[in-house]
């Protein structure tokens, strides 16, 4: 019997939804180890986040230290290793966010553990897990064969966990992470009034069919405002510099799974589709009836987007 | 400075791979192989850094003998020499430990790698390598200036190296994070760090004469037993194509009354 450790991600003092989706995976894993789910909160002044996470797990380990203020992989990976030992955990999981992808492989190296990235679920009753490869065109079932197993879990593939019956304990974890060869310099947040792309229930995405950057803003922003949606973009549009990098939806960008995804002027390259095909309802508006996006769209409208989107705006 | 860059031979990401009927792997017949696109960005960044600071770029590939083609492509872009570690399919962990051996042999100031290979999409090898070496890491290197900037047109490196430290703008959740790592370090590249150059004809001619050292993986003394075993490959569940609607009115009606999402 051994435990499962979920590494939390804390943004603005709060535990992220991605963390709670990883708790859902961890509860499944704990059925296999016969142990309990523990949590790990790392940072400075993260007491409130630890108390919050304790509603979902049996014990929260908190490494609260000035040296851990910023999410530096070199430091955090050491804390993950120490926490896994303190928790008696053989399974260590974290959401497959940029942060999780940065920290967890390094932690796996320190622990001598095998790791499966971007896991979308268990394949059966054993340790086989599913994960997308080849830009999402193929699903691999893989098994981590080491005693300690590390996973990052794709946030869009798991429900956020519900609170457990009783709040768990909170336990301080002291880790010395001196001699770091990494220095934090700055963080430039993309400021937006809109919901986060990966957490929004509605996403509207624009592609090359919008023809130029000005149109992207003129057409997509009112539609997003009307629907309370986050705005995404195809890689072509991001590469052209119309919109910032972090708006890219696709296997190499953000993976989203909202209730409603509206693709405007997007042809549907395979790597884009890999980033949005988990959406509940997909709408595609494109003037080319042969565009591959229509193969995954629940509702396809073959039309000139410059007429259709303003009309849609009016009628919503 | 001396930079070690990895180039993995991968199936062409623009084409769909065919899974073998028994799910054990992929049909290789008729498949096109290319350098991992993220690795090409790493090669480009290495060339820009050595142009600015002097030094050599050594290209490493771990794979079949045919991976020589991908090494030659990087040499044609301007790298000085190549190393092919002859091996079958390895998991990310074995790749990292093979690279660790090469790093100990070559003593580079910097290892530049693509953030992930577009075949297995693992996004692990760079971080694992940094962990094994005890080196700092800067993953998902991007740049603050953007790909339309004057800096990019002038082929300036996005990674700034000064006084033994590299400053890296990283693609983080919700923004760009800038960190400094002390060299030697591992840096992995994201899509928007640079536009890789095309090889010139003289570059291709020169590349034919550049040395490629071949090293059988067994000679390195690394245990390559996988820590992650692939049980099978399968097609993802097909998403059923939906319906075409005639006009905006029908679309709004369907969204309201059928899908009930607005």
Q: Which residue of B has its CA nearest to A101?
A: B123
Q: What is the pLDDT of residue A196?
A: 84
Calpha distance A89→A4 (Å, rounded): 5
**Does A1 reach chain B within 8 Å, measured CB to CB?**
no
CATH fold group of domain A2-172 = Rossmann fold (3.40.50)
Determine the pLDDT at residue A68: 97
Residue A302: per-residue pLDDT:
97
Where do the domains of chain A lie? 2-172, 202-315
Q: Per residue of chain B (262 residues), give pLDDT as tens.
A: 999 999 999 998 778 899 999 999 999 888 999 999 999 999 999 999 999 999 999 999 999 999 999 999 999 999 999 999 999 999 999 999 999 999 999 999 999 999 999 999 999 999 999 999 999 999 999 988 877 788 999 999 999 999 999 999 999 988 899 999 999 999 999 988 999 999 999 999 999 999 999 999 999 999 999 999 999 999 988 887 789 999 999 999 999 999 999 8
Q: What is the rounded distance in angstroms from the CA atom of residue A220 to the CA atom of residue A217?
A: 5
Q: B13 in contact with A at a CB cutoff of 8 Å?
A: yes
pLDDT (average), residues A9-21: 95
Supply the Cα-derived Rg of chain B in whole angstroms.
Answer: 21
B228 contacts A144? CB cut-off 8 A: yes
The domain A202-315 belongs to what CATH superfamily?
A: TPP-binding domain (3.40.50.1220)
Model pLDDT, residue A293 = 96
Contact indicator for B237, B30 with CB cutoff of 8 Å: no
Is the Cβ–Cβ distance between B202 and A88 less than 8 Å? no
A251, pLDDT greater than 80: no
| Average of per-residue pLDDT across A39-56 | 97
H-state helical runs in A54-193: 73-87, 98-111
**What does the pLDDT read at residue B144?**
83
Cα–Cα distance, B127 to B187 (Å, whole number): 9
pLDDT of residue A136: 82
Gap between the Cα atoms of A208 and A104, Å rounded: 35
pLDDT in tens, A188-210: 987 778 888 888 899 999 999 99
CB atoms within 10 A of CB A287: 15
Asked if domains A2-172 and A202-315 share a fold, the reply is yes
Task: Please state, for a pLDDT cut of 90, what percent of chain A lies above it.
Answer: 86
Range with lowest mean pLDDT among A159-173, A213-227, A249-263: A249-263
Task: Give the model's pLDDT for residue A254.
Answer: 86
> Judging by DSSP bridges, how do beta strands B81-86 and B212-216 pair with one another?
parallel
Q: Which fold has domain B2-227?
A: Rossmann fold (3.40.50)
pLDDT in tens, A73-113: 999 999 999 999 999 999 999 999 999 999 999 999 999 99
Touching check for B6 and chain A: CB below 8 Å? no
Question: HEC string of A7-60?
Answer: ECCEECCEECHHHHHHHHHHHHHHHHHEEEEEEEEEECCCHHHHHHHCCCCCEE
Contact A253, A238 (CB under 8 A): yes
Q: Does B249 touch chain A (CB under 8 A)?
A: yes
Query: Chain A residue closest to B172 (CA)?
Result: A98
pLDDT of the residue at B107: 98
Residues A115-132: tens digit of each pLDDT: 999 999 999 999 999 999
A105 in Cβ contact with A77 (< 8 Å)? no
Reported confidence tier of residue A150, pLDDT bands at 50, 70, 90: very high
Domain assignments of chain B as residue spans, ordered by start:
2-227
**pLDDT tier, A154 (very low <50, low <70, confident <90, very high otherwise):** very high
Which residue of A lies nearest to B180 if distances are taken between CA atoms?
A183
Residue B133, both tokens = 């070496």
B119 to chain A, any CB pair closer than 8 A? The answer is yes
Q: How confident is the model at residue A52 (pLDDT cuts 50, 70, 90)?
A: very high
Torsion sign over Cα A41, A46, A47, A49: negative
Nearest to B118 among A97, A135, A185 (CB): A135
- Cα→Cα distances A216→A226, A231, A309, B56, B198, Å: 16, 10, 12, 43, 30
Return the pLDDT at A64: 97
Interface pTM (ipTM) of the complex?
Answer: 0.95
Interface check for A14 against chain B (CB to CB < 8 A): the answer is no
Residues of B in contact with A233 (CB under 8 A): none
Looking at the complex, report in whole angstroms how far the Cα of residue B259 sits from the nearest Cα belonging to chain A: 7
């Amino acid at each position: 019997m051994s435990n499962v450790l979920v590494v939390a991600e804390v943004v603005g003092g709060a535990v992220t939804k991605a963390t709670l989706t990883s708790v859902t995976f961890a509860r499944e894993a704990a059925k296999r180890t016969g142990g309990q789910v523990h949590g790990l909160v790392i940072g400075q002044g993260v007491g409130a986040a630890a108390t919050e996470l304790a509603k979902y797990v049996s014990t929260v380990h908190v490494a609260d230290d000035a040296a851990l203020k910023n999410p530096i992989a070199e430091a955090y990976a050491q804390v993950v290793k120490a926490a896994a030992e303190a928790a008696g955990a053989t399974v260590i999981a974290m959401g497959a966010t940029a942060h999780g992808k940065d920290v967890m492989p390094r932690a796996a190296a320190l622990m001598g553990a095998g790791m499966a990235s971007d896991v979308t679920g268990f394949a059966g009753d054993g340790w086989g897990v599913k994960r997308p490869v080849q830009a999402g065109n193929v699903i691999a079932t893989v098994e981590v064969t080491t005693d300690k197993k590390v996973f990052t879990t794709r946030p869009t593939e798991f429900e956020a966990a519900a609170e457990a019956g009783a709040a768990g304990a909170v336990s301080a974890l002291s880790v010395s992470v001196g001699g770091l060869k990494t220095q934090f310099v700055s963080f430039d947040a993309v400021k937006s009034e809109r919901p986060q792309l990966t957490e929004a229930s509605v996403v509207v995405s624009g592609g090359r069919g919008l023809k130029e950057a000005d149109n992207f803003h003129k057409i997509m922003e009112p539609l997003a405002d009307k629907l309370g949606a986050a705005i995404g973009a195809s890689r072509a549009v991001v590469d052209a510099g119309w919109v910032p990098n972090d708006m890219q939806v696709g296997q190499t960008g953000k993976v989203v799974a909202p209730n409603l995804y509206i693709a405007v002027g997007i042809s549907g390259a395979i790597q884009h589709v890999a980033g949005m095909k988990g959406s509940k309802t997909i709408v595609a508006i494109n003037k080319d009836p042969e565009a591959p996006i229509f193969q995954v769209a629940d509702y396809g409208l073959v039309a000139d987007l410059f007429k259709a989107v303003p009309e849609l705006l009016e009628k919503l | 400075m001396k930079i070690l860059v990895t180039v993995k031979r991968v199936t062409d990401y623009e084409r769909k791979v065919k899974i073998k009927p028994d799910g054990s792997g992929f049909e290789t017949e008729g498949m096109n192989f290319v350098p991992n696109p993220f690795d090409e960005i790493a090669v480009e960044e290495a060339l820009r850094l050595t142009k600015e600071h002097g030094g050599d770029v050594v290209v490493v590939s771990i794979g079949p003998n045919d991976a020589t083609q991908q090494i030659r492509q990087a040499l044609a872009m301007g790298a000085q020499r190549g190393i092919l570690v002859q091996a079958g399919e390895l998991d990310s962990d074995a790749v990292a430990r093979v690279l660790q051996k090469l790093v100990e042999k070559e003593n580079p100031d910097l290892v530049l790698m693509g953030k992930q290979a577009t075949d297995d999409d693992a996004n692990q090898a760079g971080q694992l390598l940094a962990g094994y070496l005890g080196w700092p890491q800067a993953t998902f290197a991007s740049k603050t200036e953007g790909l339309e900037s004057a800096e990019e047109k002038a082929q300036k490196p996005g990674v700034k190296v000064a006084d033994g430290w590299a400053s890296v703008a990283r693609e983080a959740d919700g923004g760009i994070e800038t960190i400094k790592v002390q060299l030697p370090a591992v840096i992995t590249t994201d899509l928007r760090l640079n536009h890789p150059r095309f090889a010139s004809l003289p570059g291709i001619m020169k590349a034919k004469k550049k040395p490629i050292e071949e090293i059988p993986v067994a000679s390195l003394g690394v245990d390559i037993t996988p820590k992650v075993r692939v049980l099978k490959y399968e097609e993802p569940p097909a998403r059923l194509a939906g319906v075409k609607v005639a006009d905006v009115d029908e679309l709004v009606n369907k969204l309201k009354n059928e899908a009930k999402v607005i």
